């Protein structure tokens, strides 16, 4: 039987969160006579990354955050990149530092991440922040830096299900990356879901997905998750942003879920574009103000 599928409006939830962030940023300005500041570093000219960082700095302005973009050549030496990061670490007016990933292949992303001051690590990728996320009892994103995409997914999930409603739900996270899959699984476990992390070696992925009340799709493969894999009434969070060709040559963006097939089966679904992506940027701005507030209070997040 076909059911009504509701699309979760990521743009709307992102606007509400950004408005809250703007209020916090303005209160910070009144207390410290400066705006919270976010410095974004883009190495090279990958067009998708260039577009993401432009959105991040543009949206920063809407939240009363001083967003600055540093562009570096593809062939920048590790030493030069590390020098820039160290000077941002030491600058008391810088609250958030983000290095856009992926990096060119001769730069080691883990080494770069570990140079960033954990108190300014608004991506929450530094091992100190990863460790905190995995060891705190209560995940409170106003005093803890939580990776932006999983935090956005959790907030969207909470917008369609009451907190107690997550208890005991089965969740399948497809993808085990440090950026999305792994922290997402932690957030869901912390919210009392029973979580399975699936990946490219998982056996019978369609069968596993069919058992899930909640599916988070973070594989980076266009429309990989088919409608027939979705349990009736499930909640589907689609993290994918994949550009695919179209006959008119313009191309289009699709998610990791075959949305047209999922409609009529899922209860709730995040569209692509207009779903998780919008929340990711809003969460980055939220984290920037959290980092600023915590550092000024002398409590590193
Ligand atoms: N590339 C894709 N997603 C992200 C993210 O959340 N942070 C950074 N720094 N780079 C990314």
Span 5-47, pLDDT tens digits: 999 999 999 999 999 999 999 999 999 999 999 999 999 999 9
Say yes or no: CB of residue 149 within 6 Å of ligand 1. Answer: yes
pLDDT at 299: 79
Q: How far apart are CA 141 and CA 60, in angstroms?
A: 18
Asked if residues 63 and 284 have their Cβ atoms less than 8 Å apart, the reply is no
CA atoms in the 13 A half-sphere facing the CB of 119: 17
pLDDT at 17: 98
Is residue 100 flagged as an active site residue? yes
pLDDT at 51: 95
Asked if residues 130 and 157 have their Cβ atoms less than 8 Å apart, the reply is no
pLDDT at 298: 87
How far are the Cα atoms of 54, 194, 202, 292 from residue 143, in angstroms, in the given order? 27, 25, 35, 11
Say yes or no: CB of residue 41 within 6 Å of ligand 1. Answer: no
pLDDT at 243: 95
For the chain, list residues with pLDDT below 50: none
pLDDT at 45: 92
Is residue 56 flagged as an active site residue? yes
How far, in Å, from the CA of 143 to the mean position of ligand 1? Answer: 21
Token pair recorded at residue 175: 């993808």
Is residue 238 flagged as an active site residue? no
């Amino acid at each position: 039987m076909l059911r009504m599928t509701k699309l979760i409006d990521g743009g709307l939830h992102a606007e509400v969160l950004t408005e809250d962030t703007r209020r916090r940023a303005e209160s910070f300005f009144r207390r410290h006579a400066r705006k919270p500041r976010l410095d974004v570093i883009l190495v090279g000219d990958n067009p998708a990354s260039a577009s993401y960082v432009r959105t991040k700095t543009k949206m920063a302005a809407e939240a009363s955050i001083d967003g600055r973009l540093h562009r570096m050549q593809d062939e920048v030496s590790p030493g030069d990149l590390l020098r820039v990061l160290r000077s941002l670490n030491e600058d008391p007016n810088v609250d958030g530092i983000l290095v856009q990933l992926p990096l060119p292949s001769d730069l080691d992303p883990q080494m770069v991440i570990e140079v960033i001051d954990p108190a300014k690590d608004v991506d929450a990728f530094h091992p100190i922040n990863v460790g905190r996320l995995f060891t705190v009892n209560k995940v409170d994103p106003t005093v803890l830096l939580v990776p932006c995409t999983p935090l956005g997914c959790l907030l969207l999930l909470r917008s369609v299900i009451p907190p107690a409603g997550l208890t005991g739900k089965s969740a399948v996270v497809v993808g085990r990356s440090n950026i999305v899959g792994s922290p997402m699984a932690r957030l869901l476990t912390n919210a009392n879901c029973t979580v399975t992390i699936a990946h490219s070696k998982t056996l019978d992925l369609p069968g596993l997905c069919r058992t899930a009340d909640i599916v988070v799709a973070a594989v980076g493969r266009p429309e990989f998750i088919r409608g027939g894999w979705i349990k009736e009434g499930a909640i589907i969070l689609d993290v994918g942003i994949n550009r695919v060709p179209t006959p008119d040559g313009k191309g289009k963006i699709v998610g990791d879920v075959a949305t047209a097939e999922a409609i009529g089966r899922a209860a709730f679904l995040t569209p692509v574009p207009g779903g998780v992506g919008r929340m990711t940027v809003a969460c980055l701005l939220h984290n920037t103000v959290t980092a600023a507030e915590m550092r000024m209070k002398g409590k590193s997040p």
